[in-house]
Chains A and B, each alone.
Chain A
Amino acid sequence: MSTTAVPPGWVRRHIAFYRAAAAFDLKSSIQYRWPTILGMLALLSEPVVYLVVWTTVADHNGGSVGGLTLGQVSAYYVVWTLVRNLTAGYSPDNWQRRFQDGTLVDLLLRPVHPVHADIAGGFGFNLPRAVISIPLTALLIALFRPDLSPRLLEVGVFAVSIVGAYVLRAVMFCIVGSVGFWTTRVDAAARVYLAIELLLSGRMIPIVLFPGWLASAATWLPFRYTFGFPIEVLTTSMSTEALLAGLAGQIGWTVVAAGALAAIWRVAVRRFDSVGI
């Protein structure tokens, strides 16, 4: 009776699902015009604050901060704007809602792992934001005149690293969301994770400005690959080997995170109690 007794292969099924889920969440995103516009305006604030603060600090320090010139600081936060908006996905807080309002039940009943819904849906939902970030970045370049002249190879690696950063973040968020199978307060775990990410990813402060030991630790941890690495690809002169090593590191951490998620998920779903939903 079922029309899907012989479903298409895994790859074809997932490509079709990714397209549909991205389109679906894009439709959700643009369903309400005012929240969309206000959300985009809010996006402007964070990079502008960083740019103003750091360029002011650089000005007071004789035109540099921790060895970074004013132009390099500007470049970092201008590219930051692009990275922040192109890698935005669903926050792990989203999982709290799923546990509380029961939408997790629907996700668990689907023959597709929820991480795919998050990767595809988060992309669709944030697509307007990603699109608007491109002219916004151009505007910031005009205003802050960053020291930015990437090679073609760096642009290519940057494009790949953006995809990698987005996927790695989505998988990490899913791991944080899985905490909900043990405690219903995912938001507490999400806050801790986002605070660590803010500090160690290079989102708030370029890693090069960290104390030596912290910079070294940040280099080995996954968070740098979600922000710092893609930014560094465009704003610093990395050798080809360093670029490829960075990509390998990002892929490696994504594989580790995906493996961890699979392992955690196997245990987590056995604990699901679905209480009240």
Chain B
Amino acid sequence: MSGSVAAVSVAVRASELTREFQVPEREPGVANALRSLVRRRTRTVRAVEGVTFDIAAGEVVGFLGPNGAGKTTTIKMLAGLLHPTSGSATVLGQVPSRREHTYLRRIALVMGNRRMLAWDLPALDSYELRRAVYSIPSGHFTTTRDELIERFEIGTLVTKPVRNLSLGERMKVELVGALLHEPELLFLDEPTLGLDVSTQLRLRHFVADYNRRTGATVLLTSHYMADVQALAERVLVIAGGALVYDGRLDQLTEGVDSTRILNVTLAEAADLAGYGEVVGVEGTKVALRVDRRATAATTARLMDAFDVLDLTVVDPPIEEVVAALFDRGTG
């Protein structure tokens, strides 16, 4: 659990949150299909196991994990869609699983792989319905809607049937729809899934801007590390249903990977295997993985032994670090 949020208002508190599913199973074939009519075989799958964390009000937190790690299940429990098998959650001071209307008014869940707006109608019609669903006063609704449409530059999109929009366009109008009632807590589950780079960028700016303007808390899952790096200072990493890291993103590398990468450009090609693990060679450019504590010494030895034209020291790519963490959690 992150200790830094203890002193400030807590928006999300998950305590030993666990969710199990009963999954039907059978072997292939007609005989097995017939047998399963009489005798069902199920297996208990623990999708989330004893997850505990706090999120402070106004915080943007990245939620990382490989496919099937339990990210979406956790988010669905926090949104009140799934009832925990054990453990508890408190979000904005309310218990999500009670699904009180006063709670549902204060949150929004946007899932990149799922549409909330009516397929056949222009988004403006769906927005109008959301006004009634969330009892937003007409004047305030119009101001908020127009402001969001302008900020996202979707004025020409909201009058077209949603089915005629591209994936990126659809995601933008979906996000605007989710924000019309100005949720205090925004659950974003893979919001940039399948989007091009420029739409991803715009979406990130938009979420950051919404968080800054309204002070809303954001819990974001994404397979794109760039999303998390751009938006969240803190990350939760879940693997195999268990939380394996909760802390600052910039400290993740240090805590997980004890190596650094030396990118060396030599005047003449040479074998640097004796100085560390060679992870890449491109002509006279060599990428060398060395122990973090030996970085200075290795650098000095290289400078002495070779005609070094350029040398930079970097942390391993964050994707590698996270992948190592995933492996550690699922191993």
**Residues in A lying within 8 Å of B, measured CB to CB:** 1-4, 7-8, 13, 16-17, 19-21, 23-24, 27-28, 31-32, 102, 105-106, 108-112, 269-275, 277
Complex: how many Å from CA A180 to CA B126?
26
Complex: how many Å from CA A269 to CA B96?
12
Known: A28-B120, A275-B21. A2 touches B101 (CB 8 A): no
B194 at the interface (CB under 8 A from A): no
| Min CB gap A96→B, angstroms | 17
Q: Pick out which of these stretches binds chain A: B29-37, B75-83, B254-262, B319-327.
A: B75-83
**Residues in B lying within 8 Å of A, measured CB to CB:** 21, 76, 79-83, 97, 99, 101-102, 104-109, 111, 114, 116, 118, 120-121, 125-126, 128-129, 131-137, 140, 144, 161, 181-184, 214-216
Measured CB to CB, the nearest residue on chain B to A106 is: B116
Residues of B contacting A111 with CB < 8 Å? 101-102, 104-105, 133-134
| Contact between chains at B105 and A7 (CB < 8 Å) | yes
Complex: how many Å from CA A20 to CA B131?
9
5 example contacts (A-B, Cβ-Cβ < 8 A) are as follows A2-B183, A109-B104, A112-B101, A112-B133, A269-B83
Known: A24-B118, A102-B114, A111-B104. A4 touches B135 (CB 8 A): yes
Measured CB to CB, the nearest residue on chain A to B216 is: A1
Residues of A contacting B120 with CB < 8 Å? 28, 31-32
| Contact between chains at B125 and A27 (CB < 8 Å) | yes
Q: A1-B214, A3-B181, A274-B76 are in contact. List 14 more A-B contacts (CB 8 A).
A: A1-B182, A2-B105, A2-B184, A3-B137, A4-B136, A24-B118, A24-B126, A24-B128, A106-B114, A108-B81, A111-B102, A111-B104, A112-B133, A275-B21
| Min CB gap B251→A, angstroms | 30
Residues of B contacting A20 with CB < 8 Å? 128-129, 131-133
Measured CB to CB, the nearest residue on chain A to B131 is: A20
Measured CB to CB, the nearest residue on chain B to A266 is: B99
| Contact between chains at A17 and B161 (CB < 8 Å) | no
Residues of B contacting A8 with CB < 8 Å? 135
| Contact between chains at B82 and A2 (CB < 8 Å) | no
| Min CB gap A122→B, angstroms | 15
Checking B109, B135, B140, B144 against A16 with a beta-carbon cut-off of 8 angstroms, the contacting residue is B135
Checking B83, B106, B128, B214 against A272 with a beta-carbon cut-off of 8 angstroms, the contacting residue is B83
| Min CB gap A118→B, angstroms | 14
Measured CB to CB, the nearest residue on chain B to A32 is: B120
Measured CB to CB, the nearest residue on chain B to A269 is: B99
| Contact between chains at B135 and A7 (CB < 8 Å) | yes
Checking B76, B82, B83, B104 against A110 with a beta-carbon cut-off of 8 angstroms, the contacting residue is B104
Measured CB to CB, the nearest residue on chain A to B76 is: A274
Residues of B contacting A105 with CB < 8 Å? 81, 109, 111, 114
| Contact between chains at B99 and A3 (CB < 8 Å) | no
Complex: how many Å from CA A58 to CA B183?
64
Complex: how many Å from CA A216 to CA B184?
56
Residues of B contacting A112 with CB < 8 Å? 101, 133
Known: A20-B132, A111-B133, A111-B134. A273 touches B21 (CB 8 A): yes
Complex: how many Å from CA A20 to CA B116?
17
| Contact between chains at B134 and A4 (CB < 8 Å) | yes
Measured CB to CB, the nearest residue on chain B to A117 is: B133
Residues of B contacting A274 with CB < 8 Å? 76, 81-82
Residues of B contacting A23 with CB < 8 Å? 128
